[in-house]
Amino acid sequence: MQKKQTAVVGGSPILPQQAPPLRKDDELIASFKAGDSTAFDDLVLKYERRVYNHCLRMVSDEVESYDLAQEVFLKVFRKIKNYEHTYSFYTWLYRITVNCCIDYLRKKRRHIQEVSLSSSPGEDQGEVCKDQDIPDLTFIPETALVNQELGDTLNAAIAQLSEKLRVIIILKEVEGFTYEEIAEVLACSRGTVKSRLFRARERLKELLADYMNIHRDSAK
Amino acid sequence: MSKQCKEYSVDLSAYFDGELEGEALLKLEAHLPSCIACRSDLQKLQRIRNALTSLASTPPGKRPILEALREKLAKETEEDPQKGPLVC
């Protein structure tokens, strides 16, 4: 049997770094409930990037996504005592994340509508829309498809989907959830997941038609 | 796309995800070898998937979320000790 060699620098051996084994979600939750506050920190560290990225895809705003991700974990912190193991923690966390994003988008849309209704016809409404940056209302597809990088193009296409279609395409294509998991997160039937995904993809095919024509040959 | 293909389109999306079962799966698998339009549609779905999975994961900007969260929770605990980190 060959003996493993250990590098030596300055007289001290450098031992291969070993990451501490990751604790499972259920163990972390149990520890937290038992009074170990560092277990909650571990849950946040484990999922913060995924939660933040989901928010970013949903609301297309880094600052808002950062705040939303905090809100998600605050809710998790407050509700974790009621968490039941009917679903995995991951699914439960995503349900909270999705709801936070949808609430945010609805509030934002309502606010825009109120501002729009309360403005007199002479006011510069274009400036108001620009400040609020609602992707569904202000986006110009032709400009993005032709001029922006791939990432921007895709994010712009996602941003043009309705909230329902946006969330389902993110859960499926970005997060890789199964239909059953998506149905649990969204509290809907598997059939609804199936039909909404179909609609989301039909819409994306339209929005990404230029991109798909350009990349058709390279995909073969 | 023919009328028959349109009937398959929702199932095609589920088939692409590996989520089609039973009779629907058998029917679609019998249809696919003879249908260029449906096979082309599957390729489009794959291109969309390739593109979307290439979206980079972005780390939260500013500072770690945990740090900001700790501050908020500490503030809450100050205002209402019942909400303290160890009260669950």
User: What's residue A116's pLDDT?
Assistant: 66
Residue A190's domain spans which residues? 140-215
Segment B24-63, tens digit of pLDDT: 999 999 999 999 999 999 999 998 998 888 776 777 766 7
Whichever domain contains A79, its CATH number is 1.10.1740.10
Does the residue A107 lie in any domain? yes
Contact A69 B60 (CB under 8 A): yes
Query: Is A152 in the same domain as A69?
Result: no
Query: Is A103 in the same domain as A193?
Result: no
Does the residue A79 lie in any domain? yes
User: What's residue A110's pLDDT?
Assistant: 81
Task: Tally Cβ neighbours within 10 Å of residue A49.
Answer: 16
B27 Cα to chain A: minimum distance (Å): 17
Tell me the chain A residues in contact with residue B61 when contact means C-beta distances shorter than 8 Å. 62-63, 66
Q: Which tokens in the block code for residue A156?
A: 């712009």
Tell me the chain A residues in contact with residue B65 when contact means C-beta distances shorter than 8 Å. 44, 48, 51-52, 66, 69-70, 73
Residue of A35, A52, A211 with shortest CB distance to B86: A35
ipTM of the modeled complex: 0.83
User: What's residue B83's pLDDT?
Assistant: 57
Query: Is A35 in the same domain as A106?
Result: yes
Residue of B9, B46, B65 to mutate when probing chain A, most A C-beta within 10 A = B65
User: What's residue A112's pLDDT?
Assistant: 76
By the 8 A CB rule, do A69 and A44 touch? no
Query: Is A185 in the same domain as A101?
Result: no
Does the residue A96 lie in any domain? yes
Does the residue A194 lie in any domain? yes
A84 Cα to chain B: minimum distance (Å): 14
Query: Is A210 in the same domain as A165?
Result: yes
Residues in chain A: 220
Query: Is A171 in the same domain as A78?
Result: no
Report chain A (220 residues): mean pLDDT per 10 consecutive residues. 43 49 82 89 92 92 92 93 84 95 90 68 41 39 48 87 95 93 95 97 91 58
Tell me the chain A residues in contact with residue B84 when contact means C-beta distances shorter than 8 Å. none
Tell me if residue A12 falls in helix, strand or coil.
strand
